Amino acid sequence: MRPHRLEELTQSDFAALLAEDPVILLPLGSQEGQGPHCPMGDFRLSAKIADLVAQRTGALAAPVLPFGHADFFRDYPGGLQLRPETFTAVLTDMLNGLVEHGLTRLLILNGHTTNAPLISQVTRQIRRQSGVALASVDLWPSVPAPLMRRLFGEAPVRGHGAEPVTSVMMHLLPGEVRALPDSPRARPGRLLDLPLRGVSGADFEGLRVNLPVTAAEIAPDGRLGGDASRASAGAGAAITADLVARLAALVTHLQSAQTAEAAPTPPEETPR
């Protein structure tokens, strides 16, 4: 079997594959605080999931982009956040480096949900310029609610520094998750003497007031919601298996899908 990681191929190996237009997975993640119990490098989860999908389907996994954008995490020590313009520039260059060689079956596996609006900007621009429609999947919101209920019951476990990332880390990075924390207490925080609803702002008499909130104003320990106290490697295995199976099905679909259209022609200048 050929290597499934792009960095393990030689230039000649990869050149020989261009005519096949293989599906290439581009994993994204972040380096940021994940609570007092989890390692900060959640980008490793995206990379491992891309590996598993590539092994199952014959797709290729590109190197992971380990840094993401989320300005509200800057107060957490150890995090490395890219500015919006930096993230969009780097992602554009990475994707164009593949598209310019005629590759059209690219699938972004986004393990840092706050990247999503910027990914949309980049893929829309690439489609306008090249006619290639690039797909992306936000990994953690894609974990289905029925599976979460089966694993955790009705408990509200989803959240940053909680599920599903904690359990998936316990499964894919065994031994790296520290002692699980107790169930978090509600700590809404205040800004402009308003109770915060999260990092996006506050509510006031029915108005949604947007504010430049930092995550540390709500949760200095990195737990912005949910409950990691019930995490387990077994739950992480089930979540990973579900994600990999559905992503593999998507890759199989993309292997035969029409992914490109004729590049738009620039409008002709009107004679003066």
At 202, list the tokens: 């506050």
Return the pLDDT at 261: 66
pLDDT digits (tens, 9 = 90+) for 140-173: 999 999 999 999 999 899 999 999 999 999 999 9
Q: How many residues does the chain have?
A: 272
Q: Tell me the average pLDDT across 236-250.
A: 98
Return the pLDDT at 181: 85
Strands 190-191 and 194-198: antiparallel
pLDDT band at 264 (very low <50, low <70, confident <90, very high): low
E strand or H helix at 108: strand 106-110
Burial 51-80, CB ≥16 within 10 A → b, else e:
bbbbebbbbbbbebbbbbbbebbeebeebe
Quick check: is 60 in a domain? Answer: yes
Quick check: is 188 in a domain? Answer: no
| Closest listed residue to residue 27, CA positions, set 48, 4, 9 | 48
* Residue-range definition of the domain harbouring residue 133: 21-142+239-254
Quick check: is 30 in a domain? Answer: yes
Quick check: is 156 in a domain? Answer: no
| Closest listed residue to residue 25, CA positions, set 254, 206, 214 | 254
Distance between CA atoms of residues 56 and 53, nearest Å = 5
Contacts of 89 (CB under 8 A, 6+ apart): none
Which of 27-36, 41-50, 83-92, 212-221 is predicted least confidently? 212-221
Return the pLDDT at 224: 86
Return the pLDDT at 174: 95
Distance between CA atoms of residues 24 and 62, nearest Å = 7
Q: Is the pLDDT score of 186 beyond 70?
A: no
Q: Tell me the average pLDDT across 56-69.
A: 97
Q: Is the pLDDT score of 259 beyond 80?
A: no
More confident of the two residues 246 and 269: 246
pLDDT band at 114 (very low <50, low <70, confident <90, very high): very high
Domain count within the chain: 1
pLDDT, mean over the chain:
92
Q: Is the pLDDT score of 129 beyond 80?
A: yes
Quick check: is 130 in a domain? Answer: yes
Return the pLDDT at 271: 52
Quick check: is 136 in a domain? Answer: yes
Give the CATH number for residue 101.
3.40.50.10310
Return the pLDDT at 260: 64
Quick check: is 66 in a domain? Answer: yes
pLDDT digits (tens, 9 = 90+) for 217-226: 888 888 888 8
Return the pLDDT at 265: 53
Return the pLDDT at 144: 97
Return the pLDDT at 155: 87
pLDDT digits (tens, 9 = 90+) for 87-98: 999 999 999 999
